[in-house]
Amino acid sequence: MTETPEIDDATIDDLRARLRATRWPDAPAGTGWSLGIDVDELRPLVEYWADGFDFDAHRAALAALPSRRVEVDGTGIHVLHARAATPGALPVLLAHGWPDSGWRYRKVLPMLVDAGF
């Protein structure tokens, strides 16, 4: 059973509004990263997420992954599950730690499925 990740338009609109409403602190000239993140470097990143990031393309890419939720000992876990193209192929388990995600495997998963070893 594949479940499409749901990120509704209202959530994206809310995120964009909050990013656009960022109240930028005054940063003493020439301090760079010595007092924390350099505000001059952070601004373009926030602007990109507010107005440049293609959320629709990202939602489509997420939906294309063979995604499902399973329960293990009462705990819900999100997994990507794909079967090899070759019957009897060796099973492979790829795991990640926090704060990473299965998104890391989006490029290697098709290669493993097609390899069939």
pLDDT in the model for residue 5: 62
pLDDT in the model for residue 2: 46
**Stretch 2-7: mean pLDDT, rounded?**
65
Three-state DSSP at 71 gives: strand
Report the C-alpha gap between 98 and 53 in whole angstroms.
24
Q: What rounded mean pLDDT belongs to the chain?
A: 87
Evaluate if residue 93 carries a pLDDT over 50. yes
One domain for residues 6 and 56: yes
Q: What tokens were used for 43?
A: 């601004």
One domain for residues 40 and 74: no
One domain for residues 73 and 95: yes
One domain for residues 109 and 82: yes
User: CA end-to-end span of the chain, whole Å?
Assistant: 25
Three-state DSSP at 18 gives: helix
Q: What tokens were used for 117?
A: 């070893």
Domain residues for 69? 65-117
Helix runs in 21-107, H state only: 39-47, 55-64
pLDDT digits (tens, 9 = 90+) for 27-63: 888 888 888 889 989 999 999 999 999 999 988 888 8
One domain for residues 57 and 108: no
One domain for residues 76 and 87: yes
**Stretch 73-96: mean pLDDT, rounded?**
87
**Stretch 71-89: mean pLDDT, rounded?**
88
Three-state DSSP at 10 gives: helix
One domain for residues 39 and 74: no
